[in-house]
Chains A and B, each alone.
Chain A
Amino acid sequence: MDIVKILQTYVQKMINNTPGMKILLLDDNTTQYISLIATQSTLLSKEVFLIDKIENTSREKMKHLKCICFLRPSSKSVQLMIDELRNPCYGSYYLYFSNILTKSQIERMAEADQQETVRELQEFYGDFCAINSNFYSLNLQNYQIFGDSLSTWNNETFKRTVEGLRAVLLALKKRPMIRYEKNSALGKRLASEINYQIQQESQLFDFRRYDTPPILLILDRKNDPVSPLLNQWTYQAMVHELIGINNGRVDLSKISDIKPDLKEIVLSADQDVFFKNNMYLNFGDLGVNIKNYVNEFQNRHHNSDNIESISDMKKFVEEYPEFKRLSGNVSKHVTLVSELSRLVSQNSLLEVSELEQNLACVNNNNDLKEVQNLIKRSNITNESKIKLVLLYTIRYGRQNINEVKELVQLLLQNGISEEQTRTIEQLIKYAELNERQNEETTTSTIFDKGKNVFKGLKGVENVYTQYTSKVADIIQSLLKGKLKDQFYPYIEGSIRDRPQDIVVFIIGGATYGEARDIAKLNEEIPNVRIIIGGTSIHNTKSFISFVKNATSVL
């Protein structure tokens, strides 16, 4: 269940099947998928000498090249493919589509292929971004999720989501039992549509029998608005929260006097061992590791300084490529981590985060006072201030709506625009905070009270990472057989056995923090495998704008 490896296997299969000089044609979607999992050098070493987009109409005729196309079967891409086949630029075509083609699409392409250049047509279900080995995203951040109310889907997005999630299941070779959150209308619709699709495509979904069927758990972001609002302290999550990861790339060009080759860096667990080992570590441990990493590099550097004998030289030459890679990697991570720590101290993120965690985890009488104090401070960003009020609203807003109003006033006094403070109302609407008043005894409360008591007994390891995301709690109770059918119903049938494979999908987007919690669970409980993903990946900024968009349709 390594989702990155599955996509890589797909790509390898495409490329290895056709020896000779090749061009890889992609569309807008598949470019993102491929760029996350394959490097130019791996493609070059497999004789892929050109990579281009099918949208590019100024391509030249090169009949001596073989053309491998990996496209999403959107009507636009298929039309472009048809145009391409009418007037082929390359000698032969090997077509791979990332999702299920309709019969008419196949026929139209067959009709267009008058010069008989197509050699292969296959469906490879890699229709998603594989970010970590257990974390995927459908990359729908630019899609409007909601239709005309918060309980209906936008039709286009719905279709796209169903196709994406269906592809995830096909790529993983899972025919799951589907569970969803009772209070999510969106979840129910998606669950029943996926179930219908599985039955429709029963030939495709015909896999070997499992000991126990896998579970597809469809969650709704509105039931956990806390996770995307918290400051993150583990490496990958932190980079996304503070700087932003876009398609595995981090834009550092805003840092003053940065080296040109570090303006945009790639963070990939697949190609970067240091990142792989540290992506889930918290900032403190990361600091120690990066220091060791630098030391290791310096030792090597020192060794290479005093080349005295021929054998030293030989050794140096043999290790040189490794050495060069290391030096690039060291400077990359050092730059990144120092930028992170600069941002942390500049924006007093440690203090903010401590209060955030307290708001998220424990009831505390001083919370109001502390929020007020931080709002008055000048070295804290407006974004952090709003975030604190949002978290305060989520925890106390039900009982003390007046206090929230006071806090909004305070925000306005401290130079935050009315437009920005409107976020608070919007979040209340999105997360249905007002409707939750009578639900305190059920599982759909946002804060799990029992959990906190338990935590108190165990003692807190780290103030800044005491919050574990709700999805991790849900998974744990699912594994213990305690996830009540009443609140997490099955769309069809039910199963008693403890699940061995779980696929989580969050409508409204997942976070790197959640991915990290899931990765930790995978490590701690080796007899179960969990994969998590969502319509997109959030940090605070994107989540707030998502909430804004969601409520703007109303």
Chain B
Amino acid sequence: MSAYLARSKRTFGVKAQDNNNNSSENENLLNVNLSIDNEVEYNKRNVVLSPEASLLTMDSISLKNNYFECPICNEEIFGIFQLNNHLDIVHTENQSGNVILSIFRKTQKITEDITGAKTNIKNVQPIINKSHWEKSSIDDKCSYPECKKQLGIRNGKQNCYCCGKLFCDMHTNFSMRLSELAKPDSNSPNWFKVCQSCYTSREGYNNAEGQHKSLTHIFLEARKNNIEKLCLEENLLILRLEKLAKSLSVLHEKKGVSVNQRAIEQSVVQWKEDSSTYQCYRCNSRFGKVRNRRHHCRLCGQLFCNDCLEELPLYRDIKDETTLIGTTKSCNHCKRIVFRQKEMNTKEKLPQEAKLYEQIKFNQSIVDSMLPKYNELLLKLSLKSSGTFSKDSYQEAALYREKLIKNFHQIDLLSKRILKLPANSKYHRTLQTNIAKGSIIFLQNNMITLKMLPEKDEINVINEDIEKTKRIKEINVAMEALNDQYSMLQGYYQDALFNRKFDNAKILEESIQDITLEIEKLKVELEEINF
């Protein structure tokens, strides 16, 4: 019986909304099931009902316990609302509307018998804000973008509990936990039907960002501790190196005087006894009397085999490479530590392709900043293509375009120059070709798709404009030429006066007058065009 009850409640919740525009099939339900609006009424009435009154209606044990058995899978579920949800979610796919309807008809009678129980059921239903719900009307369409199905008995009609809009069954086949204020809340105990948009747009649902963990601070901390220790060792070794260099340079100066070099070296650091070990300190290879002989590192004094020892340059001043005075031997480890700072501070000369690439990047950044502006202008132009747009924006666009093309050209040139650079290794060659490839991709993405300016016949207004600008350009060119001539003639004229060749001067004066006339003419025309 509890199962039947549950079934009827379900129909109550879901089908009731179809009543507004449904067929005769549902007419007999009308007296039992009320529309959503009436539901609210019921809720109000519940409040008025005294607890005794509701107790009177509790005639079944199942109701008291509020446990229901699902009529389909016999699962026990707490509360009728959750059962309703369970039925919606788990058993929707298999059941066609007719099956539900037949179950409904069977149960209808029983429902009528215990309509009083409804008040009890209501207490189980969680409270949720429905004030934002879209009101149902006869002609509703699904609110899901691109769906627009007519809502009704065929496609269903359901408010999304979250956003409140009306949707078809297909687009409300989603459930989410919602708070009493109808907001997504994973801590809420209650599930509600929601629409696809609310379901997919909730926070974190479409997150493409995977988990990550930064260990940088741990790493830097560990490195700092290590470097501090290292610095102590470094200082010690540098001191030894300087001492060694000093003593040995003295040795070099006193040429001929026999000073025991070994004694000097041993004065810097205590050498390990030959008999103390049979193995290389680094690679653990065994020493022999003839083969694989023992060698001392001049900085730490440990014993190494020949392969583990490196040549160590000695400078009078460690910071100045020109003061090289000789070499000695040290282990790999000491050498690295002694020259650590030096290695860190030496700057490799920037290769040519890197310099050129800097320029390419500069040009690219100009393009990146100009391109959106240009496209915006174009959009404006195309919107106004009916004919009445300002020539300023056209000229501006043309200017932008010119600049863009210039930059593209520059990038192209630079990348070609990079390709022509000499490469001292295969590795460099790959780097160069890849830089060039990268700039070609940049050009492909930006230049080839660079939109053309609107067509001439599309915009007659512009045509005139172009004519004008053309003429202005011509005039300017002519003016320049005339001005050049003018100054030249002036020079000749002065010359002639100076040399007292008055005949020539007279002719020159005439031509100067001609030219000034011509210039005046052009000036007038230019002013006419501009206004």
Contacts and interface: CB of A to CB of B under 8 A. Distances in A.
A47 B427 contact: no
Contacts of A114: 226-227, 230, 336-337, 340
B430 interface: yes
Interface stretch (A117-125, A327-335, A373-381): A117-125
B98 interface: no
Interface string A121-149: 11111100000000000000000000000
Contacts of B438: 44-45, 47, 49
A254 interface: no
Contact of A170 (B207, B210, B336): B210
Interface majority SS on A: helix, strand, loop or mixed? mixed
Interface string A6-17: 111110010000
Contacts of A208: 186, 203-204
Given A45-B445, A321-B444, A120 B213 contact: no
Interface in B308-365: 336-337, 340, 343-344, 347-348, 350-351, 354, 357
Nearest to B442: A45
Nearest to A86: B336
A6 B210 contact: yes
A498 B451 contact: no
Interface in A46-75: 47, 49-50, 59-64
Contacts of A170: 210-211
A171 interface: yes
A64 B227 contact: no
Interface residues of A, number: 64
B75 interface: yes
Contacts of B89: 498
A126 B223 contact: no
Interface stretch (A151-159, A310-318, A540-548): A310-318
Nearest to B225: A110
Interface residues of B, number: 65
A527 B199 contact: yes
Contacts of A463: none
B161 interface: no
A314 B452 contact: yes
A65 to B, nearest CB: 8
Contacts of B452: 314, 318
A111 interface: yes
A73 B325 CA distance: 45
Nearest to A310: B455
B386 interface: no
B213 A123 contact: yes
Interface stretch (A101-109, A266-274, A296-304, A503-511): A101-109
Contacts of B191: 211, 497
B341 to A, nearest CB: 9
A170 B348 CA distance: 41
Contacts of B348: 61, 63-64
Residue in B347, B431, B455 with the greatest tally of chain A CB atoms within 10 Å: B431
Interface string B434-450: 11011001101100110
Given A211-B177, A321-B448, 14 more contacts: A9-B208, A21-B354, A41-B441, A49-B434, A63-B347, A110-B219, A116-B344, A121-B219, A122-B213, A123-B213, A125-B211, A210-B186, A211-B175, A211-B186
27 contacts: A8-B208, A9-B210, A10-B212, A44-B441, A45-B438, A49-B435, A59-B427, A60-B428, A86-B336, A101-B215, A110-B222, A114-B226, A116-B227, A122-B216, A172-B210, A210-B186, A314-B452, A318-B451, A318-B452, A321-B444, A321-B449, A480-B90, A498-B90, A498-B175, A526-B173, A526-B196, A527-B174
Query: Top 9 A-B pairs ranked by shortest CB distance?
Result: A110-B222, A171-B210, A209-B186, A44-B438, A49-B434, A110-B223, A121-B219, A170-B211, A63-B348
